[in-house]
Structures are given as C-alpha cells and as structure tokens.
Amino acid sequence: MSADLPARPEITPGYRREADREIRAFTRDWTDRDDRIASLSYFGTFAVYFFTLWLAVQAWPVWWLVVPLIVVNAFAGVRLYVLQHDCGHGSLYSTKRANDLAGHGLSVFTLTPYRVMQFNHNEHHSHLGNLDERDTTEIFTMTLSEWEEAGFWTRLKYRLYRNPLLMIPVGGLLTYVLIYRWPKNAGRIDAAGVIAHNFGLVLWIASIWWLAGQPGLVIYAGTVVTAGCIGVFLVYLQHNFEDTWWDRKPDLNPARAALQGSSALDLGWWWDLGTGNIAYHDIHHFNANIPSYRLRKCHRALREKYEVQTIGWPEAIRSFTLKVWDEDQQRLVPFPREQRTQTIPGNA
C-alpha cells in the first residue's frame, strides 16, 4: 500500500481512484485456478443436487421433510448456475476446454443455454454502470427524470416490474422457464446450441417423470420456483442498493462501477455456501478472473486493508424499497411521493 494512503482507506462509498492499481494487484493474487477444488465444487454440488432430489421423492408426501429438501436442492441449483457463470468467464478450471465442457454440462440443470448466457453476461460486464446501456443489465432501473416524464401506463408497468412480490417469484419463472428457452441474442450467437439445450431439458424432465412420476415433477417444479426466487433476489441486490453508482460516458469509470456499483452481501457463511460466494459481487466485477471458490476469502482479506461497504440482511431487505436512480443525488431512491416541480420565473 502506498505510504500516502491512510490505513484501510474507504473504497465505497467515497470511492478512491488512486486505490485502483493496488486493489487490482491485490485481487490478481486470488485468480489462480485449482482444478482439484473446481472439480470438488462441480461434482460435489451435482451430488448434493441429485441426492436431495432423490431424497425428496422418497420422502413424498411428508411435506415437513419434502419442503426443506426442496430448499436445499434449490440452493444446489443456484450453485450450479454460479459454476456455469464461472465457466463463462473461464475462471472455474485452468483451461478453456475444461470450462466450456463443464459449462455445457451444467446447462440443462441450470435451465440456461451456455453460449448465449456467456455472451449476454459478458455484455453486462462490459457496460456495467452505464446509464446509456441499461439494456445489458439483468434488472432494469429507471432514472428519476425518466419516471417524472413517464405516462400512467409506463409508470404502472414499472411499478409492477419493481414490486418484489411480483419480481421475485414471477420474474424467476418468466426468466428461467420461458425467456431462457430462446434468450436474447440466441439466434445471433448459438441458435443450434439453444435448440439442443431445450431438447436436453425435455429429456431431463421426461426422465424425472419416468423415474418418479407426478411426485417427481411436483418436487422438480418446486425446486425450479425456489431456485428462481433465490436467483432473482441475488441478481436484484447485485446492483440495486442505496449507494450503488451509475454514470454516463465520458465520466463513466469502470473500476468505480465495479467497486461501488456492485454490492458485497454479507449474509452469513451458509448463504455463501449455498450461493457459491457470488454475493461478493463487487470484486467479481472488478476482476472476473477470481474463481467463485476464492471470492469469499479474497473479500475477507481485502477488508483487512480497506473499508469495504458490505450489506447485511436489514439493508438487503430495505433495498427492495428503492426504485429509481436519482442522477442529482447519485443514489437509488424510492418512488417520489409527488412529482418534483421546477421554479417558474415570476412565481418564486
């Protein structure tokens, strides 16, 4: 650390541009891939996924056993998605071939076509924090000025979209069950791969029905719904919190967008285990080469050197009350109770 910097300087809020190089060098020390750890995470998560699915079928219809098993199975599904996300960044295994094979192998069980996911997510990384490229974000955020200029139907649509009681369950179902059957850019990137993925998904669901009948399908539907809710909950909080950061070019700073515009959720060790550490999204966006199995340790070590903004459960829940980006205050705020008015000359 430079001698002219105070001990543990703040990263967010109160972003420090001069810390960029130090943090970049620091995170680079955590980018080593270990194929043994990667395989343990990959095959171990699959083992939990299949075992809990089988146990839930065996426990049917004892709901007080089935429901907890569905929840554990759903978290295993979320972990599989995080591992596929790692593969898309080339950060799980040490070689591109191994990452791509693993990513394709996960596709059916995450309901997510690998190549298109990889392209769309890398687009999101490329345009992070850019108010002029919000179509690349997973959760759309309207600015306060756009809200004030919007008509009744646009406002109603956006209110419904940002309502967590609709966004989380309905958004999860729409995204993973319907939209991902032909996701954005599918025809341009990998139409054949998406068709093959969908065919594989049909075979997987047919196998569940053949082996476990109606109970198996009900349990599988329950895990899909639960995993979708967890996924949308995480995706929302990754960039939607009070002290997040957006800007427009030429003032947009990618490092600041990563460190301040992405959240670090500290929701406990069990949450990190169930979600593959993806909640430490700030350093993931700052350096996407860090494998998920090193993200938690890297973040903990970073906190020993810097004051890093973290979000616990109370702030995470409160973040769902924040709806629009106020460019003047540079923060995410709730819907305004009344439209801001401009001073009219002569009426001051």
87 located within any domain: yes
27: in domain = yes
What is residue 94's three-state secondary structure?
coil
Instruction: Judge contact between 139 and 235, C-beta under 8 A.
Output: yes
* pLDDT tens, residue by residue, 215-247: 999 999 999 999 999 999 999 999 999 999 999
Residue 12 lies in a domain: no
pLDDT in tens, 111-145: 999 999 999 999 999 999 999 999 888 899 999 99
**Phi first, then psi: what are they for 333, rounded to 5°?**
-130, 165
Residue 27 has which token pair?
């995170």
Tally of structural domains, the chain: 1
Tell me, yes or no, whether 299 lies in a domain.
yes
- Give the structural domain span for 231: 17-333
In a domain, 3, yes or no: no
Q: Which pLDDT belongs to residue 343?
A: 42
Task: Please check the confidence at residue 347 and state whether its pLDDT lies above 50.
Answer: no
What DSSP designation does 344 have? P
**Within-domain flag for 238:** yes
Does 347 reside within a domain?
no
Whether pLDDT at 348 is above 70: no
Residue 1 belongs to some domain of the structure: no
CB atoms within 10 A of CB 82: 25
Q: CA-CA distance, 92 to 195, in Å (whole number)?
A: 25
Encode pLDDT of 247-291 as tens digits: 999 989 999 999 999 999 999 999 999 999 999 999 999 999 999
Q: Quick: pLDDT tens for 152-167.
A: 999 999 999 999 999 9
- Strands 142-143 and 324-326 turn out to be parallel
pLDDT tens digits along 68-114? 999 999 999 999 999 999 999 999 999 999 999 999 999 999 999 99
